[in-house]
Amino acid sequence: MKILVCISKAPDTTTKISFTDNDTKFNEDKVQFIVNPYDEWYALVRGIELKEATGGTVTTITVGGADHDPIIRKALAIGADGAVRVNAANSDAFFVADQIANYAKANGFDLVLTGKETINYNGSQVGAMVAELMNLPYVSIASKLDIDGSNAKIERDVQGGVEVVTGSLPMVISCAKGMAEQRIPNMRGIMAARTKPLEVVEPSESANLTKVVGYELPAEKGAVKMIDPENMGELVSLLHNEAKVI
Amino acid sequence: MSVLVFADAAHGKIVKATHEAICYGKAIADKMGSSVTVLTYGNVDQSALEGLGAFGASKVLVHRGIEHVDDEVMTKLLAETAGSENAKVIVFAFDTSGKSIAPRLSARLKAGLVAGATTIPEIDGAKFTIKKNVFSGKAIAKFEVETEQKIISLLPNSIPVTNDGGSASVEELNTPVDQGRISVQEFKAEGGDGIPLPEAELVVSAGRGLKGPENWGIVEDLANELGAATACSRPVADIGWRPHHEHVGQTGVAIRPNLYIAAGISGAIQHLAGVNGSKTIVVINTDPEAPFFKAADYGIVGDAFEVLPRLTEAVKKFKSAN
């Protein structure tokens, strides 16, 4: 089975967010970058587990500049066989999806896995777009995936519960908690990652459908109002009269 | 010209997030001098469909032949309907179906998508400027979309629902539709009869400070008294004290209720990422240094085992007096 896993770069979850250039650019200074957690913990690790169980290959694909190489090496250290980087700025979800779809169409994969969203843009878009551009079925926010031959059985989170669905490969799946457990790369994996292939390809002709023109930080929370633990009547009255939530 | 709103009707019900999306569509339609058409499916009651007029829909199109939403089938139907209704804007709720259909439709129509919008667009000719939360709620980005058709999915609980009691005309669609390529074998409901967490306006949540699953009674008592949903922190779901669907945070559910009460949760940054959109946060913790207090509106340094029952009593007293 040939598996393609979409990997994106994200700031570490504890990053303090700030902006530069008149609030039009994310300030990357001193930011620790990681593999987007949904891509790594769930999509990549489940892909590797499936490969270990049934044979085949796991290739990662990333759209971004050379500054993405460290997180791609991390994915290789965890156990991907090879990586592709499309050498272009990842400025729009459609542009990214189009690059991935073009590469995947040209190279033929049985399964394309993504994380359910990135922790920087939280859009949950790329997987569905890749599926549409490749004319493939798509299952979003999957928490369990089993493959038997060319049949996939998937559990996905939907409104009010969990749905069990089936379909035939090839397909695109976005992965959420439950899919797999995080793997910490070992020394052998880290050494092997240095020599695994990281192919850099130039972008295909595409378009950006949206543009980010500026950022702002949420309004500062006022100082916390401390309330006497003996006096819950006061809290209830504040929630009613001041916060107006009950 | 119209604004087309997709209304998910899973299990025959149209939920609040969709009512918000219709109100949102109406606000855009008013700015553009057009009207709202809703597309839905399945066996929702005729009166419930007419009732969508109260949120701003002029016309409701219902495809009774579709029982279960399939993103490919629905994408095709929405693309056709957007054409026949001359819809330049298509609106979704940013819920599970909106997350799987809206981007698919965006790629099909080459229509720019803002996924998880929080503001009504500023409209300048063909240019829409829309804000959405990014970096898991730690910042806001301003998006511009200039494609001819535009798609917006609205983050739940971002705009108030207005209900003017109006009524919409309902038309049945009979377009032939394909069978989807994904088949649903089973649906396992979660959360029982309680209020579904992403829908809840009030949430009572607890963490490891509760010391064991047998102590959740005091959390449930307060939730019942308030009419709130219950939630929990990640460690509590991971050790199996509470079901996974109650886990709020970075890897669990992200919620933005009007009131979030957290007892015995220290407030790790990953937990905050799932609740920082809440309008009012109350934190109860024995440790005055707990980081959660920095994100709280109201803080109580105290033992949840004493504070929660006291709060339940106070709510009871408040309700009987009002």
The size of the A-B interface in CB pairs under 8 A is 270
B184 part of a folded domain: no
Separation in Å, CA of B187 to nearest CA in chain A: 4
Question: Are A94 and B110 a contacting pair at CB < 8 A?
Answer: yes
Cβ atoms of A162 and A155 closer than 8 Å: yes
Query: Nearest C-alpha of chain B: how many angstroms from A197?
Result: 31
Contacts of B144 in chain A (CB under 8 A): 210-213
Domain edge (last residue) among B132, B156, B172? B172
Residue of B nearest to A152 (CA): B182
| Residue A158 to residue B187, Cβ atoms within 8 A | yes
State whether B133 and A122 contact (CB < 8 Å): yes
The DSSP letter of residue A73 is: H
Contact B99 A212 (CB under 8 A): no
Q: Which ipTM was obtained for this model?
A: 0.95
Give the Cα separation of A236 and B192 in Å (integer).
Answer: 28
Average pLDDT over residues B217-243: 95
A223 touches chain B (CB under 8 A): no
The CATH number of residue B22's host domain is 3.40.50.620
- What is the distance in angstroms between the Cα of B138 and the nearest Cα belonging to chain A? 7
Q: Is B215 exposed, middle or buried (0-12, 13-18, 19+ CB in 10 A)?
A: middle
The pLDDT of residue A239 is 97
Residues of B in Cβ contact (< 8 Å) with A166: 182-183, 185
Hunting for tokens 């981007």 — which residue is that? B103
Q: What is the CATH number of the domain that holds B253?
A: 3.40.50.1220
> CB–CB of B185 and A216 under 8 A?
no
The verdict on B80 and B202 lying in the same domain is no
At A30, the pLDDT band (50, 70, 90 cuts) reads: very high
Backbone angles phi, psi at B226, to 5 degrees: -85, -20
Does the pLDDT at position B92 exceed 80? yes
Closest chain A C-alpha to B175 CA, distance in angstroms: 21
Predicted local distance difference test score (pLDDT) of residue A59: 98
pLDDT value for A159:
81
Sign of the torsion angle spanned by Cα atoms B85, B88, B94, B99: positive
Residue among B140, B273, B279 whose CB faces A245 most closely: B279
Q: What's the mean pLDDT in A10-32?
A: 95
Best probe of the B interface among A6, A158, A165, by most B CBs < 10 A, is: A158
CB contact under 8 A, A225 and B11: no
- CATH architecture label of A2-215: 3-Layer(aba) Sandwich (3.40)
Which residues in chain A are closer than 8 Å to B8, comparing Cβ atoms?
159
Domain ranges of chain A: 2-215
pLDDT in tens, A91-128: 999 999 999 999 999 999 999 999 999 999 999 999 99
Question: Side chain identity at A82, as an amino acid letter?
Answer: G
Domain range for B316: 197-321
Give the percent of chain B with pLDDT over 70.
99
Q: How would residue A160 be classed by pLDDT, with cut points 50, 70 and 90?
A: confident
| pLDDT score for B195 | 74
- The arithmetic mean of pLDDT across residues B302-319, rounded, is 97
Cβ(B140)–Cβ(B179) under 8 Å?
A: no
pLDDT classification of B192: cutoffs 50, 70, 90? low
So what's the pLDDT on residue B193?
62
Q: Is residue B67 part of a domain?
A: yes
**Nearest chain A Cα distance for residue B289, angstroms:** 13
Across the range A37-59, mean pLDDT stands at: 97
DSSP letter assigned to residue B248:
B
Q: Is the pLDDT of residue B196 over 80?
A: no
Q: Residue B198 above 90 pLDDT?
A: no
Q: How far apart are CA B211 and CA B303, in angstroms?
A: 12
Q: Taking CA atoms, what residue in A is nearest to B307?
A: A229
DSSP-derived 3-state class of residue A58: strand
Q: Is the pLDDT of residue B103 over 80?
A: yes
Chain A contact set for B137 (CB, 8 A): 218
**Domains contained in chain B, number:** 2
Regarding whether B127 and B21 lie in a shared domain, the answer is: yes
Kindly indicate the confidence band of residue B133, based on its pLDDT and cuts at 50, 70 and 90: very high
The reply to whether B42 and B168 lie within a common domain is: yes
pLDDT, average across residues B29-55: 97
CB contact under 8 A, B115 and A125: yes
User: What is the β-pairing status of strands A225-226 and B298-301?
Assistant: parallel
Where among B113, B137, B172 does a domain terminate?
B172
Structure tokens at A139: 């299952």
Q: Is residue B194 pLDDT above 80, yes or no?
A: no
Report if residue B191 sits inside a domain.
no
Q: Are B167 and B131 in contact (CB under 8 A)?
A: no
Structural tokens at position B215: 């102590």
**B242 and B143 part of one domain:** no
Judged by DSSP in three states, A6 sits in: strand
pLDDT at residue B191 is higher than 70: no
B128 and B70 in a common domain = yes
Neighbours of B209 (CB within 10 A): 21
Contact partners, residue B312, CB within 8 Å, separation at least 6 = B218, B221, B222, B225
Top residue of A8, A12, A13 to mutate, by most chain B CBs within 10 Å, is A13
Question: Residues of B with CB below 8 A from A153's CB?
Answer: 185
Average pLDDT over residues A23-49: 97
Q: Quote the longest CA-to-CA distance of chain B.
A: 62
Ranges of H-type helices in chain A: 37, 45-54, 69-78, 93-107, 126-134, 187-195, 232-241
Would you say the C-alpha torsion B5, B6, B12, B14 has a positive or negative sign?
negative
Task: Calculate ∠ Cα B206-A162-A144, nearest 5°.
Answer: 95
Separation between Cα atoms, residue A148 and residue A166, nearest integer Å: 11
- Yes or no: say if A38 and A7 are a contact pair by the CB < 8 Å rule: no
Q: Say whether residue A131 is in contact with chain B using an 8 A CB cutoff.
A: yes
Give the span between the Cα atoms of A205 and A191, in whole angstroms. 36
> What average pLDDT is seen over chain B?
95
